[in-house]
Each structure stands twice: as C-alpha cells, then as structure tokens.
Amino acid sequence: MAPASPVTGRRTRPFLARLRRWLRVATAGIAALLLLAVLLDRLFPLRLPAPDTGSTVVLARDGTPLRAFADSDGVWRYPTTAGKVSPLYLSALLAYEDRWFYRLPGVNPYALARGAALSLREGRIVSGGSTLTMQVARIIMPMPHTVAGKFVQIFRALQLEAHLGKAQILDLYLNHAPFGGPIQGVEAASWAYLGKPAGQLSHAEAALLAVLPQSPSLLRPDRHPDAARRARDKVLRRMQDEGLWSAATVRDAEMEPVVARSLRAPLEAALLAERLHRQQPRSRRIVTTIDANLQRAVEDRVGNYLARLPPRTSAAVLVVDNASLAARVYVGTAEFGSVQRLGHVDMVRAPRSPGSTLKPFLYGLALDDGLITSQSLLVDAPQDFGGYKPGDFDESFSGPVSVAEALQRSLNVPAVDVLDHVGPKRFVARLANGGVDLELPQGAQPNLSIILGGASTRLEDLVGAYTAFANGGLAGVPRYQPEQPKQIRRLLSPGAAWIIRDILATNPADVDGAPMEGTINRHGAVAWKTGTSYGYRDAWALGVTDGWTVGVWIGRPDGTPSPGQYGAVTSLPLMFDIVDMLPDRHAYVAQPASVRKVDICWPLGGAASGTPPALCRQRRSAWTLDGALPPTFAERDLTAWSAGLVSVRVDAAGHRLSATCHGKGEHTLQIARWPALATPWLSADDAAHAALPPLAPGCAPDSLDLAGPIRIAGLVDGARLRLAPNSTRPLGVTLQALGTTGEVQWLLDGRLQGSSLGHADMRLALPQAGDHQITALTRNGAFARLSVHVDKS
C-alpha cells in the first residue's frame, strides 16, 4: 500500500482540529443558550390566564348566550375552542395572520426581517412580523411596541411553544383576542356584532372577524362599517390569491354588506341568569334549559302587552315543559333595569298573595277525601263561618251551584265551605307536600282565609304544582339547568287531577284569543285558572295543556293596588297569547280507571239510579272518583232545618203530624230538602216540593218550624219608584225585616249590601232605573223577597 502524502496529511489534521474545536464551542454555546433559556423561563415564568377566572356567560339550552357578566376589568368573554369555531374562520385567520403557524416554533425570522426592512424604509412600523404565537404572547402579557418589547415578545412566544401545544395556543387566541370595546374572543365578538355563534359564520363574516383584532377600535363594524368592509375584502382577496376560496365564493362574499348590531351584551332571561350566577359565582359557563327563541319572543310580547298598562306595572312569566319539568321561558320582570317598574325584582320568586289560584287543589283534595263529586251541590250565599263572612269577588251570590261551576266561576263562599270540611291545616300541609310552601303572617295559623289568598306563595311554586294536572297528580319543581335532578311529589291522585283539569279545561273565557268552551287546539284543551289578590295587588293566570304549564303574574312589585286590574282581564289574555306561541307538545292523558261518570240528583246528592223520581229535583252528570257518591253537605246551623232526606208523618189530607199527634190515613212522607240558604234562589216548583206540609189542626208545634217566616216592611212587592228630577244620586229606601230577632243579610239583585239585626232599619240605594230584586235572608234560611221598578225622572 502506498504511503500517505505528507502534504495532504499536514492539511487534514488542522481542519479536523478546528472542526472539533468549533463543535465544542457550538455545543457549549447551545448548552449555555439552553441553560440561559431555562434560567430565564424560571425567572420570568409565563402567566397564563387561569381557566376559572374572567367573565361568565349564561347560555340557553342550544348554546345561545342569554346574559354575559363582565369580569373585574369589564371584559366580556365566552369560552370556546377551535373545534367549536367555524372552519371558515380558522382558515381565514391562519391564512391572513400566520400561514406557517403549524410549521414554525412561534417565530418567523423571514417575517421579522421583512417587517424590519419595511419599517426602516418607511420610517414607521408597517409590519411587526408577528406570528400568531407572538400575538398571543402580547395579548396575555402586554408589552411596549418597541425594539426591546419585540425581543420580549419573541422570548414569550418561544416560551408558549415550549410549554403549550399548537391547539392550546390557538385556543388562547380564540378566547382572548381583542375585538373592540369590552369584547374579547371570537365567540363573544360573533354574538355581540352578528348575533350568532362563531360556529355558523359565512365566508364574509369569517373574514371580517379574522381581521378585526388587527385594529379593533378603527375597524369596529358597528362604528366604522366602511373601514371594516375594506379590511374584510382584503382578507377575502388574500384567500382567493392563496387558492383557498374560489373566485365565485369571494365575489359573493364581497357583495355581502357589513351589518353589525349595536355592541351590547345579550340580556335575555336576565334575572334567571343573575340568579344562577349568584348560586354559582365561580362558574364561567352556565347552561340553562331556556329556549332562546321562545324566550326572546315572549319577552317581546310581554313588553308590548304591558305598554297599555299603568307605567309602574311589572309582569312575570314562567313556562315549563310538563314531561321534563324544564323551564323554557323565564321572565322575571317586564323591563329589566327599569327603575319605574322595579326591574331588578324577580317576580317569579317573589312571595305574593295567590288569590284564588289554590282553589283547584282544594277541590282536588276534597275529591280524594270522598267529600264531593264534580257536580255536588254547594251553596253560594252569605254564610258565617265562626265569625268569618267571605263574599264573592263582585259581592254577588248565585245560590245553589255545582262544584264545577263554583271552581270555574271562582266563587268564594263555596270554596270556604269546602275548606271548612277539609280542614285548613291539613290543606296547607298537603300543599307543602306538593311543593307549595305558603307563607303566613307572623304568628298566624292556617285558617279559612287561606283559600282566598290569605297567605303568600311564589309563581314558580304555583307553576310546579299546576304541572300535576298534566302529570297524573304529581307536582314538580321547575328545572333551570340540564343537570338539575327532576323532583316530583304526590299532590293529588291521578283521578282527582284528571277531574279538576277537565273542569278547568271546559271553562269558557270571555277574553280575546281564548278558546271556546270544550274546543281542542293543537296543544289539547287549555285548562286555566285566574286569581286576584285583595286590593287588586296581584293578577294571576295559570294554564295547563298536554305538554306545557304556563304561569303569568301582573301587578306592581311594591304591592301597590292596581284598581281594575285582575286575573281574568289582565293576566288571562297574555297567558292565552303565550300558549299560542308554544311549539306542539301533545301527550294524550287518558282518563284514569278510578274516574267514571254517574248521574246524581239534587238536592240529595246520591245516584239518580237509586233515588225515587219524586226526590230527584235536578239530575246532574257528575265525574266520580273511586265510586264515591257523597251526600250534599249538612247544614252548619243545627237550629235550622236539615238539608237532605226528611221523613214526616202526615194525615190523609197531607197535614203534618207532630210527635204526639195522630190522624186518619196516617202515613210517612219523604221530602228532599235543599240547604236552607239556597231557598231564595229556588224556583217556585222546587221550593214547593221542598216545603214542609202545614201542621194538622190541633197539633203542637215541632222543631221543624223553627225557621219561621219573615217579611220586608217599607216597600210592597211590585212597587214603582221614580228618581228625583235632575238628580244624579241613587234612590234610597229604608226597610226592616219583621219576624226575626237575629242577623239579616240584605241582597240587592243578588249582591250583598249589608246586614241588620232584628227589625232595625236597613238603608239601601237603588243605583239605576229598571227592575230590582231585594232579598232579606236569615242565618237559618228564612227569607223574604220583593221586586220593585225604578222609573227615570
């Protein structure tokens, strides 16, 4: 083998030595740089935004923001990720801001050099050459726009790339990029400017939001639409030049105008959002069960509806899906933030007097107790319940009425009568078991006034309880969040709930938009009930369909009376409007096996099939529960005649025989007696059949005659009176009731006017011309009646 060239050997050894020396220096330099980088990273760590701090957004069930709560710096931000944002936006963002984002480690030397050259040539900063990672660094850790600041920015970008993945860096940009005003992040910007989620952007909208963070103040589309359009079109052309979007697509996108609504945070279901935010102060994304479109539509309808009511009036609406108990609409106030309407007070939760809205539960409980059927005979007349003397809403009385009629017309005296049989304490306890906790005045015990609004409850409790009429007697607690567990409680039996709903669903409403009696709309029949608290402070309407339960409250939050505003005329029309807005949720509720229809007889209350025809004065078709056929309630005043079946001995002439008296042809006669207080309203035929035969001559009086006759003095039956000429005052008459020493109730055309004792004077005012009927009624059922006619002057 030939020896190596001495010359070649001499040249090779120095080169290798230098190379080894250079590699050692380079390695040491790299190690030093790495050590310096680690040291700097430890000395100046990244300060990433904590995921659990910042603004809070409350969302509808489909992700639509309902309300945004700014963070301590006043920033609105809706958390999102790249997977939830439109691919069009991501494509435009990366193509325009950093097409090498996924290929370079956070810094683009070529872009930096080009930016520096352009800036030197122009004498001002034209392009900073920042990558998307560098922009994120400046967003999360602000730094000055200087040369030193640029080096810091590069360092922070390298830190981001070392600690985070590309997806995490991109998500930081999507959530923290500035978009003008207090808006940060593309999701918040999309809702604030465009009213839609960032996942549903068009090409033009994606380009607009991609460029907006470059100069958010100067490009805000709500303030500078022309500048925003020019910047957007620049992005669109870049997308075409890069071959990412076709020319046709870009041409169509450029034709789309830049239209942005006024920059504002969403404010639907504002009080529910505030309620949930207070309950979960650390949550940044709160999802509710609310239907955003339905919520917005109902809020608009409420606002328009209340425009015709007094200015300080507010309203509350709660709509619940019966099957899931999820609230789809929650309107806590008519105008959030209004000082005049006390718009900060959530009337869905505020305790208010329920008026007559509890009556359906009372009659349902009485059905379960076997006390009544749907057509049991009740008496709407002046009554004294241990010193408590309720009157009807319009101070008129109707005499004998059925349970169904009493509930449909919301008559007060029959309801108090039924509550007296059920027991106030037991009724309140059953309501509490069903989720309706009544608030009594301090130190008070449940009493008969409960059924007329003598306690307080909340709209959400009432709506939850009313779902029982669509859910087989099971009341529920309205759910406001998807993860909230379903809570149900037994309030009524399925049969009682079905009967009460049938009664309420066949009640004709004399208001615009109300269904005709017995009609079925696309939701099924609407079962409804109204209520008005004492002094016209609260007007209620609740409606139940197969799929929905709707509650409406209208009044003044400060409790000031609103004369003339009551449930049937104020809240009921709005309730029907809202029912008509709801989507179909038909779920047929079958008649329970425990319910059947039976013909009963008045006045006794038994089955018609077992009642002799002579004793069946009125035949009624009643819903019965578990076969119960209870008799008509017994008289409360035991000194009066007794309602029900009375057996008397009579002679051949039909005269009544007392205990020690006898006569020819003696036999027993059965008489179906009406409740004593019903007698003034009976037809002449019914009154004659219920009357006791006169005592036979020579027979001693018996207790059956205790309710002696009375008569009215001061006017004669059929009198004609004339108003004084040119007088605007009603005609007054002074009357006395003769033949009694007890209390006498005076009624004019069925309306209670007052009471007198014994034969004391009673002054009545006849307010207008025409026919009038005056009735004097004692507690034991004795009455007198006369008719008068008032002529015009």
- The answer to whether residue 356 is catalytic is yes
* Structural domain boundaries in the chain: 56-255, 289-351+458-488+503-592, 595-625, 644-705, 711-791
The per-residue pLDDT for 518 is 42
3-class secondary-structure state, position 544: strand
The per-residue pLDDT for 640 is 46
The per-residue pLDDT for 304 is 94
Report the length, in residues, of the chain: 793
Give alpha helix (H) positions in 726-793.
none
Beta strand pairing call for 399-402 and 377-380: antiparallel
Nearest to 477 by CA among 354, 328, 327, 351: 327
CATH of domain 289-351+458-488+503-592: 3.40.710.10
- The answer to whether residue 642 is catalytic is no
Q: What is the pLDDT of residues 431-483, one digit of tens each?
A: 999 999 999 988 889 999 999 999 999 999 999 999 999 999 999 999 999 99
Give the CATH number of domain 711-791; options: 2.60.40.10, 1.10.150.390, 3.40.50.300, 3.40.50.1470.
2.60.40.10
* CA separation for the pair 398, 202 (Å, rounded): 66
* CA separation for the pair 362, 488 (Å, rounded): 19
* CA separation for the pair 359, 406 (Å, rounded): 10
Peptide bond into 592 cis (omega under 30): no
pTM of the predicted structure, to 2 decimals: 0.81
Structure tokens at 519: 């009609």
The per-residue pLDDT for 732 is 86
The per-residue pLDDT for 127 is 53
The per-residue pLDDT for 510 is 59
Catalytic residue, candidates 86, 91, 356, 449: 356
The per-residue pLDDT for 1 is 46
The per-residue pLDDT for 517 is 46
Domain 56-255 falls under CATH 3.40.250.10: no
Catalytic residue, candidates 97, 205, 268, 635: 97
Instruction: Give 653-714 as a 3 state SS string.
Output: CCCEECCCCCCCCCEEEEEEECCHHHHHHCCHHHHHHHCCCCECCCCCCCHHHCCCCCEEEC
Stretches where the chain sits below pLDDT 50 are 1-2, 4-5, 7, 126, 513, 516-520, 522, 639-640
CA distances from 440 to 68, 165, 423, 519, 539 (A): 37, 61, 16, 39, 20
